[in-house]
Structure 1
Amino acid sequence: MPHHFAEIAFTPTVKKVQEALGSRSSYARMESAPAAVNQRLTPAEAGFIAARDSLYMATVGETGWPYIQHRGGPTGFVRVLDERTIGFADFRGNRQYVSVGNLTGDDRVSLFFMDYPNKTRLKLFGRATLVGLDDEATLSRLEMPDYRARVERGLLVTVEGFDWNCPQHITERHTLEDMRAMTAPLVARIAELEAALARHSDAGHSDGRAPADR
């Protein structure tokens, strides 16, 4: 099956459910692509990942329970190192180390990259490798020198498959930085009008006339 994301996600049980609920035929067509797809990142995926400031990462513990963790940092903290490898610095958090512990026994991860303003998401399966502080060469490719956070390790993820998701039911959200950029022209215009009013008021006082009632 050449569609690498579908090969991992569409287990026999999942296919039976798709068949029962009427979606199997469309996904069967997706799986029958003439060449292997969705394992090597293209410029579209690389650009999307580089524009994110957070992700959600799922791991599986030895009890079989999945665990989802949010990882964040400055925009671009996830580095696309090549078409099969991404990585990021693991900044110190609450020090529970659930994800780190899970990865020592099972290297499989599932990543969600969300673009809330454009209601777009990228799903990615991969295998993660923990990078220790002694591997300075690798960490130097992942660190964010201007970000004041302690790096405890790095994570490299080898891409096994990815898929773009539909925008249904994604609530549009914007960061404070987004809102500042969108309102900047309005703020500038308000400042311009306030300055004009101040000049008009000063001119009225300078010629001895009281400002007109409004």
Structure 2
Amino acid sequence: MPKAFAQIAFTPAARTFQEQYGTKEAYAKYLEGEEVTGHVIEDDHVTFIESMDGFYLSTVSETGWPYVQFKGGPTGFLKVLDNRHFAYADYRGNRQYLSAGNISQNNRVSLILTNYEKQQRLKIWGEARIVSLEEGSDFVLSLMPADYKAEPERAILIRTMALEWDCPRHIPKRRTVDE
């Protein structure tokens, strides 16, 4: 378990529950030491991220309400740019703009990427930035999958703050039609 994950996720409330249920000592070691680990996109993360055809994005509004949205596209629509950044073209959808509105006020996001067939799940915490077509049309268009008939409105650029492989124990094994 990386330290970056523990620093973000093990809030005082979470640690109270860990103490109550007897796991505090088991997890305390992930908060020790100076070196922060688990915030850099490694090779296994790149392969997994770029194999996705969808993920769940969590944002929080300026009024404090969480919002979770499924984001989908063809396999590979998530593009890893370097060891701390990945991005995707944000396509026109139902035009409610809840995630974009939330990101514009609070850049903290959390993503869950799941491969049900392999029973793998990657949790990512990051800081998101909206790149409009006006600001960076070449960048936004470079993220568009070839031959995908969607209209990009912006790009979402995410800087990773923590990545954590989740326990596969309760991930149901499923296959897509293609699989």
TM-score range, shorter chain: over 0.9
Q: Does 1:168 align with 2:169?
A: yes
Distance in 1, Cα, partners of 2:32 & 2:143: 37
Q: Which residue of 1 aligns with 2:137?
A: 136
Taking a change above 3 Å as real, the CA distance of residues 70 and 38 of structure 1, as seen in their structure-2 partners, is: same
Letter of the aligned partner of 1:112 in structure 2?
A: I
Gapped regions of structure 1 (runs ≥ 5):
179-214
Query: How far does the alpha carbon of each residue in 1:8-61 deviate from its partner, in whole angstroms, 9 at most, with x for none?
Result: 111112111111111111211233367321000100111110111101000001
Which of the two has higher C-alpha Rg?
1
Q: Which residue of 1 aligns with 2:119?
A: 119
Gapped regions of structure 2 (runs ≥ 5):
none
Q: Which residue of 2 aligns with 1:95?
A: 95
Q: Which residue of 1 aligns with 2:146?
A: 145
Distance in 2, Cα, partners of 1:28 & 1:141: 43
Superposed CA RMSD? 1.3
Indicate the SS of the match to 1:177.
coil
Q: Which residue of 2 aligns with 1:42?
A: 42
Larger helix percent: 1
Letter of the aligned partner of 2:165 in structure 1?
A: W
> Identical aligned pairs, as a percentage?
41
Taking a change above 3 Å as real, the CA distance of residues 153 and 27 of structure 1, as seen in their structure-2 partners, is: same
Query: How far does the alpha carbon of each residue in 1:169-197 deviate from its partner, in whole angstroms, 9 at most, with x for none?
Result: 1111111100xxxxxxxxxxxxxxxxxxx
Larger strand percent: 2
TM-score (norm 1): 0.79
